[in-house]
Amino acid sequence: MQTNRMAANKVAIITGSGRGIGAASAKLFAQHNYAVCINYKSDHQSAQQVADMICASGGRCITVQANVAEEQDVKSLFNRVEKELGQVTVLVNNAGILKPQMRLQEMSAQRIQSVLTNNILSCFLCSQEAVRRMSTKLGGSGGAIINVSSGAARSGSPNEYIDYAASKGAMDTITIGLAKEVASEGIRVNGVRPALIYTDMHVDGGEATRVERLKSAIPLQRGGSVAEVAEAIYWLASDKSSFTTGSFIDVTGGL
């Protein structure tokens, strides 16, 4: 665990925060005096680098390895955060996977199941555990859940990642339904839909330079940064969005 002596009464769990949007979000929340849980599935080195940067700036954080598509891992993750950092006030469902580009007819059932399980089930399980701890009806103090979806949920991502797009569409549905379900319990649920952001995830999809290839189709004529997405996530977690729930911010450059 990495901590300093700074007290914090705001605690954020950010899943998949060892790199990309998750890492940028972890740093931003730490800058705003959140104690942050940096969750990772297997890449401890990247998560540790994020933690080192946060601690070097005077922040407070822990790194926790957990496969958030596994129920017991999720329970253990939340239990550890509550024990070491305090009551969770923000959950950012950011963890997700992307497979190489291909058309639907080429996708194996195993691939589709893997994408749907990792991207959808993780959102269900983490949100479920967060509600159990945040709900004012269950003794909690309220909180915010932000789901990191994708512009692919609206475009469908034809010829590339229909399975990924479908998983993000499901995440949007979870956002709307859960927001209505827990609004009276002190919990706000919102989503951020990034598109064509410079992240390592494009390497996973088999085209590291994908943003460069497609940026001319973006009205703003450029790709987005992880920091720009993190700012949208943070706003939805903050009191400045206190009357916002069941809503989405599209960080897409106008697409």
The model's pLDDT over 113-161, given as tens digits with 9 standing for 90+, comes to 999 999 999 999 999 999 999 999 999 999 999 999 999 999 999 999 9
Strands 90-93, 187-194: pairing is unpaired
For the chain, give every domain's residue range: 11-248
d(CA 23, CA 51): 9
The model's pLDDT over 194-221, given as tens digits with 9 standing for 90+, comes to 988 887 665 565 666 777 777 778 788 8
**CATH class of the domain defined by 11-248:** alpha beta
Amino acid 255: pLDDT: 81
Using alpha carbons only, give the angle 137, 192, 149 rounded to the nearest 5 degrees: 95
The residue count for the chain: 255
| Annotated active-site residue in 34, 40, 161, 164 | 164
Using alpha carbons only, give the angle 27, 251, 101 rounded to the nearest 5 degrees: 95
Is 40 part of the annotated catalytic residue set? no
3-state class of 138 per DSSP?
Answer: helix
- Phi then psi for residue 56, to 5 deg, are -65, -25
- Phi then psi for residue 192, to 5 deg, are -120, 130
